[in-house]
Structure 1
């Protein structure tokens, strides 16, 4: 069985690089080295660990052009967005360099007759199964807090961004982290399920985190449960973008275009379902469609490009199937709806109206440039439509009355709720989902403590 990994340029469909996937012996060597490195790293004072995060921020900025060019070549991200992804990663590294020691500091608890405190201590080696859509940021938002917490990282990145994975591994070493502390596992796709299951069972692996599909999350979560190990799962989303009858329609429509079509629509926290109050539905739809049709689709290496190709041709086929099946179920096509002829994996930015429960564009996670519009009769109907999803990652509500927006958000299940703002991740705030979007949190204090042993100390004289 071949273990060869071939990456393709989504802009042209042409091969870009070839890697040889590791066999079981090489994986074992890597795990042994990573385990040893993580045990040593756990003994390093937290202030020193945090200082390395500050050095990592500098290294990220120094290598911004190279990392961005890899993202463009491997998964088709528009270059300006790729550069922004690297900068966001650097900002996150700086956040943990500043805040990590305080978040991890012992917490004194007042008890009678004893000295007591809570400590946040490293758990050990953490396996991370990461996706391709944000090849730098997805890794950094987990790895930086985990390393500052004193853990080691085994990174199983998506095979189509193998070059990015290896570049990040080298970057950590350049920033002063010990060799093997962050190890990128180079695995052929056919070897991933069995190898991942074995690693989760391995006593040297303390915990696992995954960002990916529900299917992959179910397998990883089940394996972690059998091994009684901590897991964090981020499994995508179908975020609702709710526009109430008192909203600034032009502002909401402009934000909606950005919210749906960033990263060419290939984001867990992209708004996907647009629930619009009936009194403003026509005005919002006209402004939204005009904004979508003005998006510049093209070569992601060009700085004016806003929509690049999808990362793989099978992803483009999946979007086409969702469009066709939704139209057959009664949706109405307002713009787009077809692949772009020629080289590469391009798909026209698409808007469907008259969608609702029972249609793929509304029920499923749409991972590409496809927006689903539906009209709400009133606030109660908007709540039902927004909550009519098996996912629960983000939520955005637009209204002239922020208190009304917050009150509405409290009736809808999600991991985050934004009022008059586009859903986004920020290192200062926890990030994660509910329902089929997963469990656990990344970023902020919650993210750095996810992979620590919250340990109680009680000392009597």
Structure 2
């Protein structure tokens, strides 16, 4: 029997083992999702909102239990894990409150007596999710999907089977209709068959660009819509007229949240040469203040890397870049002892061809590049196959003007790049396509049906 296994990255020992679904179990999940769809779609926004609000309350009432699962399975510091549970509940509450307005009929004048677009659900939607934000990413997918009237099937990462089961249990605990939301614990090899199944009408995928290209090709082969939120190598531009202490504080936070294991973390810090040395000192001071340690400790700010192979890959990226000429200011050495810990690391004298720039780094590694001026900084920022998020530190007016020139799905001016249920999120280039969250996200998996009512007007 194939099992899905998670290891506690703090100790390296097995945390949970869950049997992978058999073909018969997969078939039953798909059947339940399809059978539940018509009643769920007909239930209307008020009833769907009631269920989502109840699930949100379930999350908030049991925040410590859910956050402990994240800390155990993927090493998220417990304070961050609690915040993630709250943010997942917020997503459910936000769409419960605003879905009806987001999907209201849109009347458009034409030669008809009346013409409008109405937004109708598609059917069962598959969400293929990663491990790095198990609760938030699940609700980023399912809250708009469910409020639009679709049913949701969640294929979570095999690294977090306990979190996945707990999310499904939250729906069961509040009496959600059977088949409306289901956990599907399958292996990677089983995913293609699920995508191709005619009962699945659309796919949402969050993960690497390599895996995303496979999902996209499979969905396209079945002529099914997909939303892809893929990797990032997000630039953070710091210009000479920036508030340098504020920029250093926020950039350091952006780089170390979730031990740096975030697609939208600031990964390439591009600093105007006139303030480069001053900013590096400020950034190093901030980074040195973060405690690395047991994620169950309330004072820990940086937990372990989620898996041993990922720590190994991260370290190889750092070593290769140092050998290519980068300067190690902080960290950069694997510590002794159990667990998959990696120190907060700062590299300077980094150039675009070095591995830490050419590839996505998934860990607490900040790299600084020097730019001659603002135009040069934008050119460096865009010199990447990715285009997920970006940040700019300068005057507000100048930052807004620069945002139009940056090839990214979202740009924060004098702030941290983050996801927010109220605002759309997504990427361009190899960072994916489509949008999640906000009014744009809920319209990804609906039929925008045009209705023309006669007679025609003269």
Normalising TM by the smaller chain, what interval?
over 0.9
Paired residue secondary structure (2:299)? coil
Q: How far is 1:20 from its partner?
A: 1.2
Q: How far is 1:210 from its partner?
A: 0.4
* Alignment map for 1:67-216 (pairs within 5 Å): 67-188=66-187, 192-193=188-189, 195-216=190-211
2:412 paired residue among 402, 409, 418: 418
* Alignment map for 1:279-290 (pairs within 5 Å): 279-290=274-285
Q: Which residue of 1 aligns with 2:47?
A: 48
Q: How far is 1:89 from its partner?
A: 1.2
What is the root-mean-square deviation of aligned Cα atoms in Å? 1.1
Is 1:378 matched with 2:377? no
1:13 and 1:335 map into 2 onto residues whose CA distance is: 25
Q: How far is 1:61 from its partner?
A: 0.2
Q: Which residue of 2 aligns with 1:329?
A: 324
Q: Is the 8 A contact 1:126 1:206 kept in 2?
A: yes
1:55 and 1:453 map into 2 onto residues whose CA distance is: 27
Is 1:449 matched with 2:443? yes
1:456 and 1:316 map into 2 onto residues whose CA distance is: 51
Tell me the alpha carbon deviations over residues 41-80 of structure 1, each in whole angstroms, 9 at most, x when there is no partner. Answer: 1111122112222222211101211110000000000000
TM-score by length of 2: 0.98
Is 1:432 matched with 2:404? no
Paired residue secondary structure (2:9)? coil
2:389 paired residue among 381, 385, 394: 394
Is 1:4 matched with 2:3? yes
Q: How far is 1:180 from its partner?
A: 2.1
2:389 and 2:91 map into 1 onto residues whose CA distance is: 20
Deviates more, 1:207-216 or 1:2-11: 2-11
Q: Which residue of 2 aligns with 1:313?
A: 308
Q: Is the 8 A contact 1:50 1:101 kept in 2?
A: no
1:349 paired residue among 344, 347, 352: 344
Q: Is the 8 A contact 1:238 1:268 kept in 2?
A: yes
5+ residue gaps in structure 2? none
TM-score by length of 1: 0.97
Q: How far is 1:113 from its partner?
A: 4.2
1:113 and 1:269 map into 2 onto residues whose CA distance is: 46
Runs of 4+ in 1 over 6 A off after TM superposition: none
Q: Which residue of 2 aligns with 1:36?
A: 35
Paired residue secondary structure (1:17)? strand
1:90 and 1:20 map into 2 onto residues whose CA distance is: 28
Tell me the alpha carbon deviations over residues 121-178 of structure 1, each in whole angstroms, 9 at most, x when there is no partner. Answer: 0000011100000000000011001000001111110011001101101112223421
Q: How far is 1:98 from its partner?
A: 1.1
Paired residue secondary structure (2:367)? strand
Q: Is the 8 A contact 1:9 1:74 kept in 2?
A: yes
Counting matched residue pairs gives 455
Deviates more, 1:296-305 or 1:37-46: 37-46
Is 1:272 matched with 2:272? no
5+ residue gaps in structure 1? none
Q: How far is 1:36 from its partner?
A: 0.9
Q: Is the 8 A contact 2:17 2:161 kept in 1?
A: no
1:268 and 1:255 map into 2 onto residues whose CA distance is: 16
1:241 and 1:376 map into 2 onto residues whose CA distance is: 12
Paired residue secondary structure (2:295)? coil
Q: How far is 1:110 from its partner?
A: 2.5
Q: Is the 8 A contact 2:259 2:363 kept in 1?
A: yes
Tell me the alpha carbon deviations over residues 347-374 of structure 1, each in whole angstroms, 9 at most, x when there is no partner. Answer: 0111110112111101111000111101
Deviates more, 1:403-412 or 1:424-433: 403-412
Q: Which residue of 2 aligns with 1:241?
A: 236
Q: Is the 8 A contact 1:157 1:165 kept in 2?
A: yes
2:45 and 2:117 map into 1 onto residues whose CA distance is: 16
Paired residue secondary structure (2:4)? strand
